[in-house]
């Protein structure tokens, strides 16, 4: 990303720019994205060994970029990132990108990769969060709570804020306090703490918020919040209904990754996601690497303009998403209808073909489940792991097994297992569809 005009390269400067650019015409983003991509591509080609020749297809003999060739740039896989970590590091950074940090991410495939990212990427993510919060009319003067895993030795004393949140105050207005609670602390204690400080907003990994909403909705307790901003999973209608019931709150899901930063935030007017097109170029591709039209789900391939330290150019993010043509709110930003599951394993039919399972969460009522997970354990068996709302009921299981075979359009044998909690990944993510049979995981 161009840090030229270094004035904008602060979280506040980027925020002001994002508030302005979301009023552009849609066509304006094409040329803006190309100018951002061009800077990244030239930087990568000159300073990142991995990209020294990989981008040649784009450049003519005079060194000009032919955008018609964009889709010839090889897609970067997670396995390549793991194997070529050193070669992916930039030997130098353009000015204004700031210090770098390294984080390891486990991701959906369980293959850990290290990502070195710049201050600028972090700042841009902060600015994108502020834009989303502004669009949601969140009140930065009210207290916010973070639920996160906090190492014991770094836990702040109870009731003491860790600082303030929201963009720096413009007219001397007071910014609200930001508190943080370890998500491992008992829910009752977290709620008590939130009551004590009058928190109006919650920022949390989606699973923690969902678990809390489930627990509260089954009790007489509830806590009024305005917005719950979540990351890690997408929010379907049943989760949103649960959040309304337990917290009276709206869910704002954001779509982000360590590799690409903040990619999209949910629209305040509907459940679509607005892509941060000023920060990322996002493609949705089918199994022949052709772009998917609106309404057709495909693989997310993303290029972040900001990460000059370890560029991810046409990176296969490991998610499945679907374009929406336009959003009711009229945003000029590209609009995603859905990001399916976030961690999403394809299943296999008995004849070996791969497909994307889709079981609507409304059907949980048929089984009497509060949360569930579908695991393909072999070519002909699906395990339904679930938390029963009441006592386990064999008749409900039989009825749901019939329904499930219809939905998946395959005559699997269906097995049930009740659990007190659906197991999460090492990174704390909920996987609704898990492929755990022998052999390679099916790819789209």
Interface ranges with Zn ion (CB under 5 A): 267, 327, 329, 331
Of 329 and 387, CB closest to Zn ion: 329
Of 268 and 427, CB closest to Zn ion: 268
Q: Which two tokens stand for residue 116?
A: 């070195």
Closest contact distance (angstroms) between CB of 269 and Zn ion is 5
Closest contact distance (angstroms) between CB of 270 and Zn ion is 6
Closest contact distance (angstroms) between CB of 98 and Zn ion is 31
DSSP H/E element including 181: strand 177-182
The 8-class DSSP code of residue 191 comes to H
Judge whether 160 and 196 are in contact, CB under 8 Å.
no
Of 23 and 288, CB closest to Zn ion: 23
Q: Which two tokens stand for residue 127?
A: 């600015």
Paired sense of beta strands 381-388 and 413-418, if any: parallel
Of 1 and 327, CB closest to Zn ion: 327
Closest contact distance (angstroms) between CB of 334 and Zn ion is 11
Closest contact distance (angstroms) between CB of 375 and Zn ion is 35
Closest contact distance (angstroms) between CB of 265 and Zn ion is 10
Of 331 and 373, CB closest to Zn ion: 331
HSE, CB side, 13 Å, CA atoms: give it for residue 437.
24
Separation between Cα atoms, residue 36 and residue 63, nearest integer Å: 17
Of 304 and 331, CB closest to Zn ion: 331
Closest contact distance (angstroms) between CB of 228 and Zn ion is 18
Which has the closest alpha carbon to 251: 275, 226, 276, 278?
Answer: 226
Closest contact distance (angstroms) between CB of 19 and Zn ion is 15
Separation between Cα atoms, residue 337 and residue 211, nearest integer Å: 24
Separation between Cα atoms, residue 253 and residue 235, nearest integer Å: 6
How many CB atoms within 10 Å of residue 132? Answer: 24
Of 19 and 329, CB closest to Zn ion: 329
Of 276 and 370, CB closest to Zn ion: 276
Partnered with residue 415 across adjacent β-strands are: 383
Greatest extent of the chain over all pairs of C-alpha atoms, in Å = 72
Closest contact distance (angstroms) between CB of 329 and Zn ion is 3
Of 21 and 217, CB closest to Zn ion: 21
Q: Report the chain's terminal Cα–Cα distance, integer Å.
A: 31
Q: Which two tokens stand for residue 444?
A: 């789209």
Give me the residue label for tokens 């939130």. Answer: 194
Q: Which two tokens stand for residue 37?
A: 């991509």
Of 108 and 234, CB closest to Zn ion: 234
Closest contact distance (angstroms) between CB of 335 and Zn ion is 6
Which has the closest alpha carbon to 197: 157, 228, 169, 166?
Answer: 157
Closest contact distance (angstroms) between CB of 380 and Zn ion is 42
Of 316 and 324, CB closest to Zn ion: 324
Which has the closest alpha carbon to 107: 232, 255, 275?
Answer: 232
Q: What CA dihedral angle connects 274, 276, 281 and 286, to 10 degrees?
A: -20
Which has the closest alpha carbon to 340: 398, 284, 261, 413?
Answer: 284
Q: Which residues of 227-263 are buried (b: 16+ CB within 10 A; e: fewer)?
A: bbbbbbbbbbebbbebbeebbebbbbbbbbbbbbbbb
Judge whether 249 and 223 are in contact, CB under 8 Å.
no
Cβ within 8 Å of residue 215, ≥6 positions away? 187, 246
């Amino acid at each position: 990303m161009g840090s030229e005009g270094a004035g904008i390269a602060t979280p506040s400067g980027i925020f002001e720019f994002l508030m302005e650019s979301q009023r552009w015409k849609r066509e304006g983003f094409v040329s803006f994205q190309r100018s951002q991509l061009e800077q990244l591509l030239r930087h990568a080609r000159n300073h990142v060994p991995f990209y020294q020749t990989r981008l040649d297809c784009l450049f003519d003999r005079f060194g000009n970029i032919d955008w018609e060739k964009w889709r010839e740039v090889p897609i970067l896989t997670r396995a390549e990132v793991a194997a070529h970590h050193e070669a992916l590091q930039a030997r130098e950074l353009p000015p204004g990108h700031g210090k770098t940090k390294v984080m390891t991410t486990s991701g959906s495939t369980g293959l850990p990769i290290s990502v070195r990212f710049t201050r600028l990427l972090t700042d841009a993510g902060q600015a994108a969060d502020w834009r989303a919060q502004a669009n949601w009319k969140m009140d930065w003067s009210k207290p916010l709570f973070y639920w996160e895993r906090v190492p014991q030795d770094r836990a702040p004393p109870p009731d003491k804020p860790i600082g303030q949140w929201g963009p720096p105050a413009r007219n001397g207005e007071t910014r609200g306090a930001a508190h943080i609670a370890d998500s491992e602390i008992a829910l009752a204690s977290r709620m008590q703490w939130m009551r004590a400080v009058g928190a109006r907003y919650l920022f949390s990994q989606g699973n923690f918020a969902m678990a809390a909403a489930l627990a509260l909705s089954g009790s007489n307790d509830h806590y009024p919040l305005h917005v719950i901003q979540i990351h890690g999973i997408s929010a379907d209608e049943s989760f949103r209904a649960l959040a309304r019931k337990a917290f009276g709150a709206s869910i704002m899901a954001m779509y982000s990754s360590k590799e690409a930063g903040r990619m999209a935030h949910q629209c305040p007017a509907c459940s679509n996601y607005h892509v941060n097109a000023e920060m990322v170029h996002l493609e949705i591709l089918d199994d022949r690497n052709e772009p998917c039209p609106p309404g057709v789900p495909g693989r997310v391939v993303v290029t972040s303009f900001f990460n000059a330290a370890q560029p991810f150019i046409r990176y296969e993010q490991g998610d499945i998403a679907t374009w929406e043509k336009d959003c009711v709110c009229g945003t000029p930003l590209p609009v995603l209808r859905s990001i399916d599951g976030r961690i999403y394993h394809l299943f296999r039919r008995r004849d070996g073909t791969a497909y994307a399972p889709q079981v609507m969460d409304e059907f949980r009522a048929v089984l009497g489940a509060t949360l569930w997970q579908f695991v393909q354990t072999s070519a002909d068996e699906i395990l339904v792991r679930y938390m029963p709302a009441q006592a386990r009921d064999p008749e409900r299981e039989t009825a749901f097994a019939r329904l499930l075979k219809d939905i998946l359009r395959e005559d699997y044998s269906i097995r049930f297992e009740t659990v007190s909690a659906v197991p999460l990944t090492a990174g704390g993510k909920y996987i609704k569809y898990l492929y755990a049979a022998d052999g390679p995981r099916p790819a789209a």
